[in-house]
Chain A
């Protein structure tokens, strides 16, 4: 195989043995937390972190990531890498959700989702502005003959020798859905960890709750960013770089990413919780 033809080989195949080992690691982490810390706040926080991580890993699959080919108008999607896009959407959501942290888990998570979705909607709109009015290329998907939502045909707009270009409507919708999932997941991780730290840090540092609030916020924020980036990059590895959106055949690989995100979030989450519990 020549160097040019060498593509990442993460095919669509599912390695069942590895999936089962992954689920066993997940169960061991959950059981260890339950055994050492009981079914209290810390255990609920771990479950929240795992759910948040899975939401992030799943959400990344919706985001139309084009990479360098998209920047040259040779593939559809937003012209940057998964890590950058997911970090942008997720962190925008996280900051949005953090403002609503006092109003409870549900309100904060929804606020985070709206923040992430809004960020992706604005990004996708301006990406299309630049594609259409700046680069002069129409939006056309290379993976499907008709747009699954609008029913518009794609082939006559697609330039020869490209995999499509621009940002078709279904990719735009996918981007917003991905932002919603990413923002909700990031905020959920932050809120769950913040609750644990607000409860445990005053005892651990022998200080008043109001005094340790900056520490609790900073710790929860840093762990949320860390877990977010780990999940986003693992999901990026799963789709090996570029994806058009929910209509792309690569989207069907998401079950692997859900197991991977759950295992990674559980391992990172237990460390984040143990910092106050041990």
Chain B
């Protein structure tokens, strides 16, 4: 029987964060469908907000699992989340408008089997193992789908595989200038996998506080969203990409300043040193 080596006390219970994260990210991914209804690409930034919601939930799910001391380091949890999530996400994109729902169901199925394998065949015997790996797979799938929706304006297989290049003023379809064909998905994979594991890795320890870790998760999410917004520029109209970039930078600045504030609150003492100290008397 495993023993918890980290405390989980106070703050919002994990179930609340899980339900809120799941509903928020699925609804936000669906809001990118406004692109199709209004025939523009301006609502792509909702995909990025969906990734932030899923990453906040993900960092707490990692906290929930790794508080049992799995012995392999926190980054491995982020890797298995996206390794299983990418498989469910890519398969689900075939189902058109149902894609986010199919991704959640299929990721849960893969997560149950991986959880059973880890917990029973590999004899880990961690009480939250199966539930955590289910959550991880769903989060991985939703984050990747969020990035896909943000970079291409859609979450359907045909839009992810077909882009367009303009040649002498003509717009030609191209499979290379797309989310999948251009392998932007590989970058999205690592943007998400690092953002999901970093908050708990950075905040763990006896001084752990929930609001600080979740704020860092949101900050990492927005930081990844800035990069994703830049990467979306070749695939969606520049004005829509700039809307995403603006939302990401505003969100990042807000969460970053909040995170610094919370870090100062939790620190025993701090000295406001400047990046380049003023040198006097030389």
Contact = CB atoms under 8 A, between A and B. Distances in A.
Interface of A: 1, 3, 6-11, 13-15, 17-19, 21-22, 25, 67, 81-84, 87, 205, 207, 211-212, 214-215, 218-219, 221-223, 225-230, 232-234, 236-238, 240-242, 256-257, 259-260, 263-264, 267-268, 271-272, 274-275, 278
A84 B75 contact: yes
Contacts of A225: 83, 86, 186, 189
28 contacts: A3-B4, A3-B5, A7-B69, A8-B2, A8-B68, A8-B70, A8-B71, A21-B120, A25-B113, A81-B73, A207-B175, A218-B182, A221-B183, A222-B186, A223-B87, A228-B83, A229-B79, A229-B83, A233-B79, A234-B117, A234-B122, A236-B72, A240-B71, A256-B122, A267-B110, A268-B87, A272-B87, A274-B91
Contacts of B37: none
B40 interface: no
Residue among B2, B80, B94, B185 with max Cβ neighbours from chain A (10 Å): B80
A3 B3 contact: yes
A22 B121 contact: yes
Interface residues of B, number: 51
B76 A10 contact: no
A11 B123 CA distance: 7
A264 B114 contact: yes
Contacts of B3: 1, 3, 6
Nearest to A205: B161
Given A214-B176, A257-B122, A278-B94, A226 B114 contact: no
B58 to A, nearest CB: 15
Contacts of A25: 113
Contacts of A87: 79
Given A205-B161, A215-B161, A271 B91 contact: yes
A241 B73 contact: yes
A256 B83 CA distance: 21
A274 to B, nearest CB: 7
A268 B80 contact: no
Interface string B73-93: 101110110111111101100
Contact of A271 (B88, B121, B180): B88
Contacts of A272: 87, 90-91
B124 interface: yes
A164 to B, nearest CB: 18
B113 A10 contact: no
B124 A237 contact: yes
Contacts of B116: 18, 21-22
Nearest to A269: B87
A234 B88 contact: no
B118 A9 contact: no
A235 to B, nearest CB: 9
